[in-house]
């Protein structure tokens, strides 16, 4: 049994692997950021919530998931413009929330 057989039950594909690499990269980036600038950058943003940069990443990712689902539901694929909206949303969250 080789390595590909061991993981075959998980049905990996390149796009899903890249998606998880992206999530892992986000977590690593946040850890490095926290190491160099500790404290999480707490802020009272426009939603009147106390958020750290970890909270802002969570809001960005969760919000992006719903933006993409709404895009699929109302406009259908492709999702490139939806992804652009998600990036703008994440920037807005990191700047103001």
Partner 1 sequence: MRKTVNQKAWFFVLPVVLLVAFNAVIPLMTVVNYSVQETFGDNVFFWAGLRWFEDVVTSERFHDALIRQCIFTALVLIIEIPLGLVIALAMPRKGPWVSVCLVLMALPLLIPWNVVGAMWNILALPDIGLLGRSINALGIEFNYTREPIAAWFTIILMDVWHWTSLVVLLCYAGLVSIPDAYYQAAKVDGARPWAVFRYIQLPKLRHVLTIAILLRFMDSFMIYTEVVVLTGGGPGNATTFLSIDLVKTALGQFDLGPAAAMSLIYFLIILLFSWLFYTLAMRNEAR
Nearer to partner 1, 12 or 88 (CB): 12
Residue selected from 46, 50, 81, 87 as contacting partner 1 according to rule CB under 8 A: 50
CA nearest 59: which of 18, 19, 91, 22?
91
Q: Does 73 bind partner 1 (CB under 8 A)?
A: yes
Distance, CA of 84 to chain centre = 13
First-to-last CA distance in the chain? 50
Q: Does 1 bind partner 1 (CB under 8 A)?
A: no
Per-residue tokens: 87: 């990036």
Provide the binding-site residues for partner 1, judged by CB under 8 A. 8-13, 15-16, 19-20, 48-50, 58, 62, 65-66, 69, 72-73, 76-77, 79
């Amino acid at each position: 049994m080789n390595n590909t057989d061991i993981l075959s039950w998980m049905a990996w594909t390149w796009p899903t692997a890249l998606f998880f690499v992206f999530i892992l990269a986000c977590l690593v980036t946040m850890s490095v950021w926290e190491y160099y600038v500790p404290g999480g950058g707490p802020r009272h943003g426009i939603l009147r919530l106390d958020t750290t940069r970890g909270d802002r990443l969570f809001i960005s990712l969760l919000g992006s998931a719903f933006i993409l689902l709404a895009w699929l539901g109302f406009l259908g694929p492709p999702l490139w413009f939806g992804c652009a909206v998600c990036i703008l949303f994440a920037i807005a969250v990191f700047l103001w929330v």
